[in-house]
Structure formats: C-alpha cells, structure tokens
Amino acid sequence: MSECKTIDARDTFCPGPLMELITYMKQASVGDTLELLSTDQGTASDVPEWVNKVGHEMVSSEKIGEVWHLKVRKTK
C-alpha cells in the first residue's frame, strides 16, 4: 500500500530541502508520495528539475502562505 509522507524542510536553504527529499526518496517504496515543505524559493524550481531528470512524477506544487508544498511520487 502506498504512503504519503511529509518532510518538513522549512527554514533551510538550497540544497538542503532537495537533499532531504532525496534522502527520503531513497527509503520510500515505488508508488509512495512525498510532500516536501520548503520556504526556499529556489527549491520550488529545483525540485521539478530534479524529478524530471531522474524520472519520478511531480504530483503538485503549491505555495500556501510562505511555504511551498511540493508533492512527488516515486515511480521507480
């Protein structure tokens, strides 16, 4: 059964949030969705780049207040 996990990387700077996401992606199972919370503007554009390059799926990207919510599904 796939899970949805939230990773709170608020108040850390590039490439901290991306590396946090990648750490959890390694441990996740295929089909799991990870939601990364970040206040770093660069991360909001870097995460989709990374997802595209390595071939996972960008589920959504939304800014709520000052916080980016980036959802990524592990596909392989």
Which residues contact another protein by CB under 8 A?
Answer: 11-16, 18-19, 22-23, 26, 46, 50, 53-54
Is 14 known to be catalytic?
yes
In DSSP notation, 9-40 reads -TT--TTHHHHHHHHHHHHSPTT-EEEEEE--
Q: Indicate the length of the chain as a whole number.
A: 76
Contact 25, 54 (CB under 8 A): no
- Selecting among 6, 8, 13, 14, the annotated active-site residue is 14
Q: Closer CB to another protein, residue 1 or residue 19?
A: 19
Least distance between another protein and beta carbon 1 (Å): 26
Enzyme catalytic residues: 14
